[in-house]
């Protein structure tokens, strides 16, 4: 059996991997590692926002403060470090699509492993199923994973939303939005706390009619459309997808270590 070199597109790059004329999870692993690389980039971008020494300036009316009235602060963003949100959106999109592709690669090679090379007429129907209603499982499994053994189907069933697995549903939802509607929207969020105590409020040197309010513990993060923290959510998806591929690799005779860095 002659080994071949395949050119795999991952994250805008072409990566050559050695493959054999047999089912393999090598391609899925390339996708997983590309997802991790893009996730690290997103994490670095978020860290830049977290380390901004003075992203906002909070001021309020001095008369209100001296009278003990509730503060109605004005936020000045002009000194904040520019954050490339468009880049953050594209990085998030790449992570999601790499992970979804890794699961589909797993499905395709699982069909190949159990039933032989899929014919071209059925290739397009093979995908990793994500089923929310148990009554749909048999039909989806038969259509998406033709010829897969009951033992392997039982494993894939564990990762279905109807079986209590939530991360595959999250990944499928994000991938569908990104693929069919628009690039995943990612929002910036600053969070912190302030008070009107003498220790945290001072007269504004640029405008004596106002006071400057110190914001303590200001934090920055990217949020997904459902308002979940993007870096943390994508770390979970990457880890879970990697664990599934790691779990299956022994059946393909591949025992090399698959490592997902701690986030």
In this structure, is residue 209 part of a structural domain? yes
Q: Residue 54's domain spans which residues?
A: 25-252
- 154: in domain: yes
Confidence at residue 263, expressed as pLDDT on a 0 to 100 scale? 45
pLDDT for 32-43, tens place per residue?
999 999 999 999
pLDDT at 258: 58
CA-wise closest residue to 122 among 144, 93, 149, 148: 144
Q: For residue 50, tell me if it sits in a domain.
A: yes
Question: Would you state the structure tokens that stand for residue 144, as one six-digit string?
Answer: 């998406």
Closest CA to 91 of 177, 16, 12: 12
Distance of CA 103 to the CA centre of its chain: 14
89 falls within a domain: yes
Establish if 236 belongs to a structural domain.
Answer: yes
Residue 214 domain flag? yes
Instruction: Please list the ranges in the chain whose pLDDT falls under 50.
Output: 1-13, 15-19, 260-261, 263
- CB distance 73 to 213 below 8 Å: yes
* pLDDT tens digits, one per residue of 239-263: 999 999 999 999 999 976 555 445 4
Task: Identify whether the C-beta of residue 196 lies closer than 8 Å to the C-beta of residue 64.
Answer: no
| 203 belongs to a structural domain | yes
Q: What is the pTM of this model?
A: 0.81
* 10 domain residue, yes or no: no
For the chain, what is the largest distance between any 2 Cα atoms, rounded to a whole number of angstroms?
A: 86
User: What is the per-residue pLDDT for 136?
Assistant: 97
Among 98, 43, 40, 88, smallest CA distance to 242 is for 98
Q: Which ranges of the chain would DSSP assign to H, the alpha helix? A: 26-50, 62-66, 85-115, 120-123, 137-144, 150-157, 167-180, 230-249
| Separation of CA 150 from chain center | 31
How many structural domains are present in the chain?
1
């Amino acid at each position: 059996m002659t080994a071949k070199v395949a050119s795999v597109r991952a994250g805008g790059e072409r990566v050559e991997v050695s493959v054999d004329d047999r089912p393999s999870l090598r391609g899925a692993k390339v996708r997983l590692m590309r997802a991790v690389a893009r996730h690290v980039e997103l994490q670095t971008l978020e860290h830049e926002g977290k380390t901004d020494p003075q992203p906002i300036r909070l001021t309020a009316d001095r008369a209100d403060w001296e009278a003990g009235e509730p503060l109605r602060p004005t936020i000045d963003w002009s000194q904040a470090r520019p954050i490339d949100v468009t880049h953050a959106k594209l990085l998030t999109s790449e992570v999601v699509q790499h992970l979804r592709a890794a699961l589909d690669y797993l499905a395709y090679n699982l069909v190949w492993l159990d039933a032989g090379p899929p014919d071209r007429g059925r290739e397009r129907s093979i995908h990793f199923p994500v089923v929310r209603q148990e009554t749909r499982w048999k039909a989806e499994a038969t259509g998406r994973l033709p010829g897969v053994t009951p033992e392997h189907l039982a494993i894939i069933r564990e990762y279905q939303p109807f079986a209590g697995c939530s991360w595959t549903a999250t990944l499928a939802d994000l991938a569908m939005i990104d693929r069919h509607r628009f690039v995943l929207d990612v929002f910036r969020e600053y969070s912190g706390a302030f008070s009107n105590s003498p220790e945290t409020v001072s007269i504004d040197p640029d405008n004596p009619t106002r006071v400057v309010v110190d914001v303590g513990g200001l934090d920055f993060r990217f949020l997904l459309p459902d308002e979940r923290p993007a870096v943390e959510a994508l770390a979970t998806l990457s880890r879970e997808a990697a664990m599934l591929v790691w779990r299956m690799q022994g059946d393909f005779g591949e025992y090399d270590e698959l490592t997902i860095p701690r986030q």
